[in-house]
Amino acid sequence: MPDWDKIFKEKGYVFVDPHQDMSRLVTLFHTHGVRRILDLGCGTGRHLAFLSQVGFEVSGFDSSSTALELAMKWLKEEGLRADVHLGRMEEPFPYHDGFFDAVVSIQVIHHNLMNDILATISEIERVLKIGGYIFITVPTLGPKPEKAEDDWKLHQIEKGTFIPQSGPESGIPHHYFTEDELHKVFINFQILEMYVDDTNHRCVLATKKS
């Protein structure tokens, strides 16, 4: 079955520029004493490099060994550091409770069935300290799901979760969160901002409640 590892093997660095709001987040994180950041589903490292460059201690976690090799190559070339782990986000993360001051995850957590997504969110919560930040982005579907991403031939496998039957991400599950659902799954977080970015991804900026 196709997966992100295959995409990275074929295409290399698919994402290069950081998310449009990363600079703003850096200012927020610096203002609030953030030191350690986990990039969950770090891919080939665009945010590891960006965040390491501005002085954070960064860790990357991803299920694609190809992505992690490319990320390490990028970091090495730039003289930057990050701790990276290969693993699946629906399984326990290899970090202690409350280890991170912030977790960023750009276009990642939706790649699963809802039960597995809930396991991921519970792990995010566990490894984040109280008051720590999350910045998470997930794709949106328009009011007519059958029209969105038409060419992907989305096949629904549970409520809100689809597997594209064609296109570059065919075979990879995509859960399309509603705004309501995001409020529900992040119930243990204080939502500071929820908005749709320029690439049609819904962004959640929140802090972990005590």
Rule CB under 6 A: which residues touch ligand SAM?
Answer: 4, 15, 41-43, 46, 62-64, 67, 88-90, 106-108, 111
Q: Kindly tell me which of 39 and 180 has the beta carbon lying closer to ligand SAM.
A: 39
| SS3 of 89-156 | CCCCCCCCCCCEEEEEEECCCCCCCHHHHHHHHHHHHHHEEEEEEEEEEEECCCCCCCCCCHHHCEEE
Q: How far is the CB of 106 from ligand SAM (least distance, A)?
A: 4
Q: Kindly tell me which of 92 and 131 has the beta carbon lying closer to ligand SAM.
A: 92
Q: How far is the CB of 109 from ligand SAM (least distance, A)?
A: 8
Q: Is 46 helix (H, G, I), strand (E, B) or coil?
A: helix
Q: How far is the CB of 79 from ligand SAM (least distance, A)?
A: 21
Q: How far is the CB of 41 from ligand SAM (least distance, A)?
A: 3
> Cα(176)–Cα(101) distance, rounded to whole angstroms?
27
Q: Kindly tell me which of 59 and 64 has the beta carbon lying closer to ligand SAM.
A: 64
Q: Kindly tell me which of 38 and 108 has the beta carbon lying closer to ligand SAM.
A: 108
List all residues 6 or more positions away from 188 whose beta carbon is below 8 Å from its beta carbon.
125, 208, 209
Give the residue at shortest CB distance from ligand SAM: 43
> Cα(65)–Cα(4) distance, rounded to whole angstroms?
10
